[in-house]
Structure 1
Amino acid sequence: MSIDADTYARLREIANQLPQIPGIGRVEIAHGEIVMMMSPVKRHELAVLKLARQLNDQLPDTHPGYIAHGGADLEDVGLGRLRRPDIMVFPEASLMDEDAAFHPSDVILVVEVVSKSNPENDYEEKVRDYAAMGIPLYLLVDPRVGTGIVHSGPKYASVERFAFGDTIKVGPWQLDTSVLLTYGP
């Protein structure tokens, strides 16, 4: 579902002000609503770090000039979506433009590490959103249960499941998931 441009612009204006409120971790816009998320736990951030390192080690060979980086906004104004993936792979040069957020056409992979508090968002809504944005690959990592999914192909028709400990193929990259930890009780 898309929302009209005026509604999205109003939501975006509000969303831009929310991170200034203490306790608000990340802000996204989806399905005509502002979604506020808590700051991630340490093991979440460790998974992000370990995966980004592996990708960045391989990108010079597969996609020179690209980087794996987190903490940035991904925006599709036409769909009325503002997301903040844990990792995106994009051309490093795109960091130099003045845009506040990345456009999906610059991104070839998004990675989400499932949080303890809102797993449905990563398993359902973000699968639909990233596919609609045209991002070729979506890697979902779930430290709650030690599993994950590689989504690829048109509308993510290809789904490859894995367990922590497997070496997985994500597009042209090989990732060792034995470095990932599950969340504690």
Structure 2
Amino acid sequence: MSIDAATFARLREIADQLPQVPGIGAIEIADGQIVMMMSPVKRHEYAIFRLARQLNAQLPDTHSGYIAYAGADLEDSGLGRLRRPDLMVFPEATLRGEGPALLPQEVLLVVEIVSKSNPENDYENKVRDYAAMGIPHYLLVDPRDGTGIVHSEPKYASREKFTFGDQVTVGPWTIDTSELMTYGPGTT
């Protein structure tokens, strides 16, 4: 569901004014609502670190000047979406630019690490949103069961499933998923 530009602008203004709340990792806007995301667990962050390291080692050869980076927002005001992917690949120079968020046309890859608390968001809503934004590749990693899916254009019609331990091709990059860990007991 898309929302009109004025409604999105108002939601964005409210989201930007929300105070920092302990345990809240990020704020997103989707389906006309502000969504407060829980702070991730250590193994979630470890997966991001390992994936970023692998991608950043390959990017000089495939896309000079690009980085794999966690911690930036992704905004599509036309769709009424503000997302905070766990990891994105985009030109490093965009971090020096104006504006609060990256634009979809700047991003080659988004990565989401599935949480135990809300897996449907990554498997359904974000697949829909990232495809609509035109992001060429979406890597979905699920530490709950040690699996994942590589979504590729057009509109993520290509979906390649994998199991932790596989060598996975994501666009021009190869990811060694043996470096990833499943969630331990008691993680959320």
Q: TM-score range by the shorter chain?
A: over 0.9
Whether the 8 Å contact between 1:164 and 1:180 is mirrored in structure 2 is yes
The aligned residue for residue 71 of structure 1 is: 71
Alignment match, 1:171: 171
| Distance in 1 (alpha carbons) for counterparts of 2:183 and 2:23 | 21
Give the drift of 1:96. 0.8
The whole-number CA distance in structure 2 between the counterparts of 1:142 and 1:19 is 30
Normalised TM-score (structure 2): 0.96
Q: Quick one: which amino acid aligns to residue 176 of structure 2?
A: D
Runs of 4+ in 1 over 6 A off after TM superposition: none
Amino acid at match of 1:38: M
**TM-score of the pair, normalised by structure 1:** 0.98
Q: AA paired with 1:179? A: E
Residue 2 of structure 1 contacts residue 79 of structure 1 at CA under 8 Å; is this kept in 2? Answer: yes
AA in 1 matched with 2:37:
M
State the distance in 2 between where 1:24 and 1:172 align. 34
1:114, 1:19 → 2: CA distance? 25
Counterpart position of 2:21: 21
Q: Deviations over 1:127-155 (max 9, x none)?
A: 00000000000000000000000000211
Q: What is the 5 A alignment of 1:1-185?
A: 1-185=1-185
| Alignment deviations for residues 15-58 of structure 1 (CA, whole Å, 9 cap, x no partner) | 11225233322100001011111100000000000000000000
Question: Is the 1:28–1:36 contact (alpha carbons within 8 Å) kept by the matching residues of 2?
Answer: yes
SS at match of 2:89: strand
Q: Is 1:104–1:134's contact at 8 Å kept on the other side of the alignment?
A: yes
Change (3 A) 1:19 1:75: farther
Q: Residues 18 and 24 of structure 1 are in contact (CA less than 8 Å); yes or no, is this contact kept in structure 2?
A: no
Provide the alpha-carbon RMSD of the alignment.
Answer: 0.8
Q: What percent of counterpart residues are identical?
A: 77
Q: 1:167 to 1:19 in 2, by over 3 A?
A: farther
Aligned residue for 2:94, secondary structure, equals helix
Indicate if the aligned counterparts of 1:140 and 1:149 stay in contact, CA closer than 8 A: yes
- Structure 1 gaps of 5+ residues are none
Q: Distance in 2 between matches of 1:74 and 1:98?
A: 14
The structure-2 alpha-carbon separation of the partners of 1:93 and 1:171, relative to structure 1 and needing over 3 Å to count, comes to same
Look up the equivalent residue of 2:32 and give its one-letter code: G
Report how many aligned residue pairs link the two structures.
185
Most deviating of 1-10 and 167-176: 1-10
